[in-house]
Amino acid sequence: MNEFQFFMQFLMSGLSMGSIYALVALGFVLIYKSTSILNLAQGEFLMVGAYFCLSMTLDFGLGFVASFLLTMVFSVILGLAVERLVLRPLIGEPIISVIMVTLGLTYIMRGLVIMIWGNDIRQFNIFPDQPIDFWGVKLTYLYLYSMGISFALLIFFAIFFKYARTGVFMRAVADHQTAAQSMGISVKKVFAMSWCIAAVVSSIGGILVGNIAGVGVDLSYIGLKVLPAVILGGLDSILGAIIGGLIVGVLEFLSAGYLDPYIPAINEVFPFIVLVLVLMIKPYGLFGTEEIERV
């Protein structure tokens, strides 16, 4: 394998992982933008989605497509339930409480997952294992499918926010809550919608990552790995989340390829190092709104 192929190998793997990050980051930013909550339970949504889909295929013997669709329905219900039961009572409370409540949710969801499905890592085994060869760059179907599904969804959401009625409502609420409300947009519905979309995209991300790495409780760390992507892209920019996700994925894999000989396993924390550097150099990220205040 020559130098270029080596680079391309890591670039392509990074891009496919990055597209999953982008998807999860999209959910994160959506919630932050419309409700200004840092949803630290995003990773748990992802994990629950992955477990649910896995258990549909393995324990109930449904086809992958059927269980995928069922998982989507389940995530919508989960997102709605969380918004209605936990977050709506906290409207108007200080933002710290709201963030802490998402942390409490992580405990509950992880506990329930362990209670129902146990602690072992399980495999999907749906996509064929043998890699396909693109001029010396080897990629498994899994990576290709993940990339394909993620990009399709990202394009879908781009169109959704641009043209669909609900999408425009959501952008309006994100932009200015009071103004949106006075135009007759139901802010409550938009909040519920954001949580639904966040739950759905993260469970799709969870199913994809679960296919790659196996489904275990540690999947929830993906939810935190999305933070570097979000900060890099700018906390309140949907486009930023997508580009940030891709960049972070690529950087993670390139660091595994090139820095590993010097610091073993650096790729585990490389995204977080990027996060700290971004906060030092360009704290509002690539596309985030810069807040300028002078006193």
Partner 1 sequence: MPAGLFHENYQSDERVFQTWFVKAWLIAFLIACALFPLMASKYMVSIMTEAGIAIIACHGLNVLTGFTGQISLGHAAFLGVGAYTCTILTGKAGIPFIVALPLAGVMAAMVGMIFGIPSLRLRGLYLAIATIAAQFIIEFVIRRWDSLTGGVEGLFVDPGTIGPISFDDHINLYYLTFILAVLATMAVKNIVRARSGRAFVAIRDRYLAAEVIGVHVFKYRLMSFAVSSFFAGIAGALMAQYLQVITHESFTIHQSIDYLAMCIIGGLGHILGGIYGVGFWFILERFLEVATTSLNTAFPDHMTWFVSIREIVFGCVIVLFLIFEPDGLAARWRTIRAYWKLWPFSY
Question: Which parts of this chain interact with partner 1 (CB under 8 A)?
Answer: 38, 40, 86, 89-90, 93-97, 99-101, 103-115, 118-119, 224, 227-228, 231, 263-265, 268-269, 272-273, 275-276, 279-280, 283-284, 291, 293, 295
> What region does 36 belong to: left with phi over 0, alpha with psi -120 to 50, or beta?
left
Residue 223: both structure tokens together: 């939810």
With respect to partner 1, which residue has the nearer C-beta, 70 or 99? 99
Of the two residues 73 and 277, which places its CB atom closer to partner 1 in the complex? 277
184 versus 261: smaller Cβ distance to partner 1: 261
- Between the CA of residue 271 and those of 18, 200, 232, 248, 251, what are the distances in Å? 11, 24, 10, 6, 7
261 C-beta neighbours (distance < 10 Å), count: 8
- The span from the CA of 136 to the CA of 133, in Å, is 6
Residues 112, 42: Cα–Cα separation, whole Å: 16
Nearer to partner 1, 196 or 231 (CB): 231
SS3 content of the chain, % helix, strand, coil (to 5): 75, 5, 25
The residue among 137 and 199 lying less far from partner 1, judged by its C-beta, is 199
Would you say 143 or 287 has its CB closer to partner 1? 287
Least distance (Å) between residue 74 CB and partner 1:
19
Query: Taking the complex as a whole, how short is the minimal distance between the CB of residue 277 and partner 1, in angstroms?
Result: 9
Which residue matches tokens 């009572």?
A: 89
Give the shortest CB-278-to-partner 1 separation in angstroms: 9
The minimum distance between CB 164 and partner 1, in angstroms, equals: 29
Smallest separation (angstroms) from partner 1 to the CB of 138: 29
CB 24 within 8 Å of CB 224: no
C-alpha to C-alpha distance for 248 and 245, rounded to whole angstroms: 5
Greatest distance between any 2 Cα atoms in the chain: 63
Report the nearest approach of partner 1 to the CB of residue 66 (Å).
27
Length of the chain in terms of residues written: 295
Q: What is the CA radius of gyration of the chain?
A: 19
At its nearest, how many Å lie between partner 1 and the CB of residue 62? 23
Going 225 to 231 to 237 to 243, the CA torsion angle's sign is: negative
Angle between helices 42-58 and 64-82 (to 10 degrees): 140
Least Cβ distance, residue 274 to partner 1 (angstroms): 9
> DSSP class of residue 290?
P
